[in-house]
Amino acid sequence: MSKESVPTQRTQRKPKLGDQIRSIADRLKQETDVQIKATSRILGAAAQISENYDKLVDEVVDMVEEDLNQQLQISQKYLYTADILKQKFKTLREAKAHFQLKVNSWESLAKKLNEPQLESDFRNNRQGKVKQGQKNIEKVNVILDPDVAEVFPNSEVVNAALRSLIIKKNNF
């Protein structure tokens, strides 16, 4: 007697619903882990950028303060007194002609020369319009509040500070 052998068929069984759900849950967990790691790295980078930005701002403030202090020291060298003017010029007439001012005394000449706008105009021999390239640019008079004027005693210091800010802004 021979028995016929029944071929064994391997049938792929369909995954059960529970297995499918577990598989989906595992994939979601992996994706969530990746998202958490990516978010953590992004937040770390943002914190580093913020820290670097704060350091950069502090450095810029320090540089501007340093420039202002240097300009203040330079501008203090140009303060005129009646005695200094008397030593520099033989007569009041000669001093008035040199600075092209109408005054009645050495003291009033010193006072006018120490006024921020006049001091800058006479030192640079410029009045009214300033030629820059082919353009005529009008000078602008700005009135500083007293607390600001203590830090910026003349137009040269103000211009130096503003130029520093412009350069810093253009470099960012």
Q: Answer whether 140's CB lies under 8 Å from 149's CB.
A: no
Tokens of 46: 């943002």
Q: What pLDDT does 91 receive?
A: 92
Q: Name the more confident of 169 and 76.
A: 169
**What percent of the chain has a predicted confidence (pLDDT) above 70?**
73
Confidence of residue 105 (pLDDT cuts 50, 70, 90): very high
C-alpha triplet 50, 54, 58: angle, nearest 5°: 170
Whether residue 94 is predicted with pLDDT greater than 60 in this model: the reply is yes
Residue 136 binned pLDDT confidence (cut-offs 50, 70, 90): low
Backbone angles phi, psi at 43, to 5 degrees: -65, -40
* DSSP one-letter string for 74-85: HHHTT---HHHH
Cβ-based neighbours of 3, under 8 Å, separated by 6 or more: none
Better-scored residue on pLDDT, 139 or 64: 64
Residue 155 CA: distances (Å) to CA of 84, 88, 151 = 22, 24, 11
Closest among 163, 152, 154, 148 to 68, alpha carbons compared: 152
Query: Span 142-166, mean pLDDT?
Result: 79
Q: Per residue in 38-75, pLDDT tens?
A: 898 999 888 888 888 888 888 888 888 887 777 666 65
pLDDT greater than 50 at residue 123? no
What confidence category does residue 120 fall into, taking pLDDT thresholds of 50, 70 and 90?
very low
H or E stretch at 147 = helix 146-151
Sign of CA dihedral 143, 144, 149, 151: negative
- pLDDT for position 121: 47
Q: Please state whether beta strands 135-138 and 129-132 pair in parallel, antiparallel, or not at all (unpaired).
A: antiparallel
